[in-house]
Structure 1
Amino acid sequence: MGFASRLTAFPCLLSFLTRIPGRCHDVRRAAYAFPLAPLVGLVEGLLLSLLASMMHCSPRITGALLLVAHLMLTGGIHMEGFADYSDAVGAGARGNRALELLKDPRRGGFAVIFTAVLVIAKYAGYASLAEKPLALLSPYVASTEAMYIASIILPSANAEGLGMLFKKLGAVGDGVMVNIVAFALSSLTVVWLLPQDSLIALSTGVLAGLLAAIDALKRIGRVSGDALGFVYEVSNTASILGVAAHGCAS
């Protein structure tokens, strides 16, 4: 047990949360490495930053390409959860009714509307940060950490599926301390590279993710993969927009 032990399972987590090719496709090992989620975020942010730095297009084109890159990199896994959970939010559903909506494979009108707004907001944020590639690092660290925090906050009672598995194997025991170390290392890295913007992105992203997790606590009362996806996308988008808005104000 410990940081080194969980680090050996990191490739499993990376290949589960992203579409980066890996030799490990063991979901249980991925869940065991869940405390290292901020390091996955650091990798995601680094790849998006590198892509942005290589582009010499208009901000609008760069923003669109970064949005596509985000979807390709994550495989849309978080956005799918966001869409499912949005149906429950839009319908004002709670308890068993909310859980029924999460399990319904059909996409409702609220899922379409919420996801469209999310995509537009992401595009605007990416376009605003097109000429500041390093600013894309911290939103991904923030959103992956927010997802882990949500897994701690949300109860496991009567829970099932991937959300329960990741909480059971990754968000208990020494996993919490491992996560603190991983988040500290990731945060120090991005703050060292871009101090002010990174602090804004980290604080905005974690706060937005916390609010989304509290909503899930009140709405469904237990950990869920869809809820974690919702937390990730809300945190990520809020973080990107937070940095972009700071740039407009300065």
Structure 2
Amino acid sequence: MRYILLLFPLLSCCNSNIWNIQVEDPFIQKGSKSHYFRGNAPTSDALSLHLTSTISSNQIQDKSLPNVKLSVSPNSEEYYHWDTDVRYSIEVSDAVDGDSKYGEININEVLLEIEFLPKTDREEGKEIIKISDIEPDDKGLSLLKKSTCFNCHADKTVLAGPSFSKIAERYKNTAGTIKSLSHRILNGSIGEWGSMEMPAHPDLTSEETEQMASYILLQGGKKNNWVLPGLEGTFRIIKKPGNVTEGIYMLTASYTSTSLMKGQFSRKLHIK
């Protein structure tokens, strides 16, 4: 209350277009300042008020990235072997959305991306770049995660419906194919892949279903790249290619929060 009483006489004697308030917040790093400007005139130091902010820690945390952790079993610090299974689990905590250990995280927004790289100096460089960069999801992938598509479809595994890879094998990635697949996603279809009926998705637009179809064809056509939704599962390392002695599996677990903030955790598995 004493701040309010002090502010009124100070503000009343100054031009409202040339004031600069510096807010010190206990949750912001010491020495940093937030500046708030009013009006269109250039700011000046004619009036500088040093206040103690009462911003809650939750408001500060709203802007933080989700915390993502990836664990694998067996957890080898040396080498994994060709044609063997690896089990994984992902833990997520977010200041707004909650924690996966309490069932508060939307598992459809949790994704594990796997990429196989033959071990060469060039690919090691690519690996380092991939670990350090956090890129936004493809628009089509974001839409797939928000829909029910992953209930019936997977990237390289056949579930109730065809996998992305089977779709990419049957159809060429052309503008005409994208429009045709988009129409089926939007309006539903039956008889394209046996007797299983694909329901309509009237809540989506034609533009959105085209983005989804484009991603399905693109991802399905990748031979050494997999996407696996959910908090846990098992994947199998590929059989040893004839011209490769060693390789790397790049694992990137990610989560996109309701605040549209993306957190991720990357690690590599050496294969021989």
Q: TM-score, normalised by structure 2?
A: 0.26
Which is higher, the Rg of structure 1 or of structure 2? 2
Name the structure where strand makes up a greater proportion of residues.
2
Q: TM-score, normalised by structure 1?
A: 0.28
Name the structure where helix makes up a greater proportion of residues.
1
Higher relative contact order (CA 8 A, sep 6+): 1
